[in-house]
Chain A
Amino acid sequence: MKISKPFWIYTMIAIIGYVIVQVMISSGQLDMYYSNLFITMAINVMLAVSLHLVIGITGQFSIGHAGFLAVGAYISAICTMQLQLPFIVGLIVGAVVAAIAGLIVGIPTLRLRGDYLAIATLGFAEIIRIIFLNWDYVGGAAGMQVMQQTTWTYAFFGMLITIIVISNFTRSRHGRACIAIREDEIAADAMGINITYYKVLAFAIGSLFAGLAGGLFSHNFFIIQPAQFGFLKSFDILIYVVLGGLGSLSGAVIAAVALTIISLYLQDFPETRMIIYSLVLILVMLYRPVGLMGTKEITDLFKRKRKGGDVHE
């Protein structure tokens, strides 16, 4: 079986990065504050990459991604806290329920042409938030206590699985069908692509990984509250994708990592943060409307350098 060389190179680099951070955490060189930063980074990368599949690859404008994050967060917390199930089971159940929520939102709206999805996802995220807000079983507005169980190892491998699955999906006939839909829905349909099926599929996969991120998110903070999953959270995730470059997975990753670090330093100034975000967005729109990476990937830069010299296998 042949898997492309770059795949192994990047996986190895990622795992080396994981080991370094892990060693630094175990040896106490990185305190809670910084290990938390790395975990948050991984979670945000998962959110960025999962939304990238929906918006950047399939071209469906979803602006309520935090809704699926919330479903994963609360469902996994119910599993571990109320039903005493193991953490890993909670993570899986949370992801699956988020995917089902994705199907429920996606099936009726994605069969219609046009941007109904944007409105539907926005509404969905609000409804989800209001449900948790008024549901005493999960603590209502005061929030729900959750045991801290997310470690760097969980977060890293959650992120790695998300990236591998979505990048493998994208580079296959299935992902190509999704990109064709993004490029020209009518032409894709005319070439035999079942456009509703692929839109719903991409949306459900995106929701699944947002749900998985939710499980890691809720078990990282001792408490979750509906207010954490409002429109601003959806907006944050949207910015990763737009800033990184619609259609670029590596762009989404880079933007998520960079903005996680920036927002950490601006944590105590939420207004400043929103102003800076808005300014950055305006600058991007003006000077680089395709985003940081456009539709290019880091791997493309690597390829161009090799061109001419050695032979592709």
Chain B
Amino acid sequence: MNNPLLKVENVGIQFGGLKAVQGFDMELFEGELVGLIGPNGAGKTTSFNMLTGVYKPTEGQITFDGKVTNKMSPHQVTKSGVSRTFQNIRLFKELTVLDNVKVANHSLANHSLMSSVLRLPAHFKGEAKMEQQSIEFLKIFELDKYKDELAKNLPYGMQRRLEIARALAAGPKLLLLDEPAAGMNPQETRALMDLIALIRKKFDLTILLIEHDMGLVMGICERIYVLDHGQLIASGTPEEIRSNKKVIEAYLGEEVTI
């Protein structure tokens, strides 16, 4: 294969004395759908935060699409083509469903401040384009009929879908999904997975997915990385992971302590 789209080399971060993640290595190639799993507190979300610029790693290097991104701020990382959803839904609650997506569409339009303040033709053209594109994204997730609802008034499952629609509107090459099916029932989860497969094809996406549902991850991911206590303990195909001793121990260990 050619160069990886995302290359994570020996990345680590420390909070006070706690090494939340250390020695993390990962390579994602264009078009892959990869899972990131691990018990609670393993460092999965923290890894996402480092990949998206929310946290600056205290060691190591992250290269995306040929650019070193670990010193960039989140909006710069997003502009370079990485976007994400959040484990605890972070929608713009008081904005409408449509406006939530439009915010992410921000950089796809380029009408200036002056054109908006003076209501020049460029403003209307740009806003119309944003509106039309945002509605396209909503349609994919069957949210277009709720476009004028406030985001906070959507039922939980739809809020999760809206988060993905919004992340997609930012125009990513790499989409990071942090437990997108959390709190959904099996049918909803199934439908969501089909949707993820669909957008992956439609937008030529590379996807990294955090998920607790093992069956689900094993079913749709081509490769899987396993974190435990901030360290990478295994990576490989679902079959390899399923029979990996360290992985079984990590998960058994979790169950014993529960």
For A193, list chain B residues within 8 Å (CB): 75, 103, 106
Tier of interface size on chain B? 35 or more
With a 10 A CB-CB cut-off, give which of A1, A183, A192 has the most chain B CB atoms.
A192
Q: Are A190 and B78 within 8 A (Cβ)?
A: yes
Tier of interface size on chain A? 20 to 34
Within 8 A of A (CB), among B125-159: 126-127, 130
Complex: A235 Cα to B258 Cα, angstroms: 53
Q: Does B206 interact with chain A (Cβ within 8 Å)?
A: no
Q: Does B91 interact with chain A (Cβ within 8 Å)?
A: yes
Q: Are A186 and B116 within 8 A (Cβ)?
A: no
Q: Does B192 interact with chain A (Cβ within 8 Å)?
A: no
Q: Are A184 and B116 within 8 A (Cβ)?
A: no
Q: Does B69 interact with chain A (Cβ within 8 Å)?
A: no
Q: Are A195 and B75 within 8 A (Cβ)?
A: yes
The residue of chain B having its C-beta at the shortest distance from the C-beta of A2 within the complex is B124
Q: Are A191 and B95 within 8 A (Cβ)?
A: no
Q: Are A168 and B126 within 8 A (Cβ)?
A: no
Q: Are B75 and A192 within 8 A (Cβ)?
A: yes
Q: Are A190 and B117 within 8 A (Cβ)?
A: no
Q: Does B170 interact with chain A (Cβ within 8 Å)?
A: yes
For B78, list chain A residues within 8 Å (CB): 189-192
Q: Fill in one digit per residue for A195-231: 1 if any B CB lies within 8 Å of its CB, else 0.
A: 1000001000000000000000000000000000000
- Other-chain contact of B103, A176, A194, A295 (Cβ < 8 Å): A176
Within 8 A of B (CB), among A114-139: none
B210 to chain A, nearest CB (A): 15
Q: Fill in one digit per residue for B100-119: 1 if any A CB lies within 8 Å of its CB, else 0.
A: 00111111010101001111
For A192, list chain B residues within 8 Å (CB): 75, 78-79, 83, 104, 106-107, 170
- Which positions in A face B, CB cutoff 8 Å? 1-3, 165, 168-169, 172-177, 179-180, 183-184, 186-195, 201, 247, 295
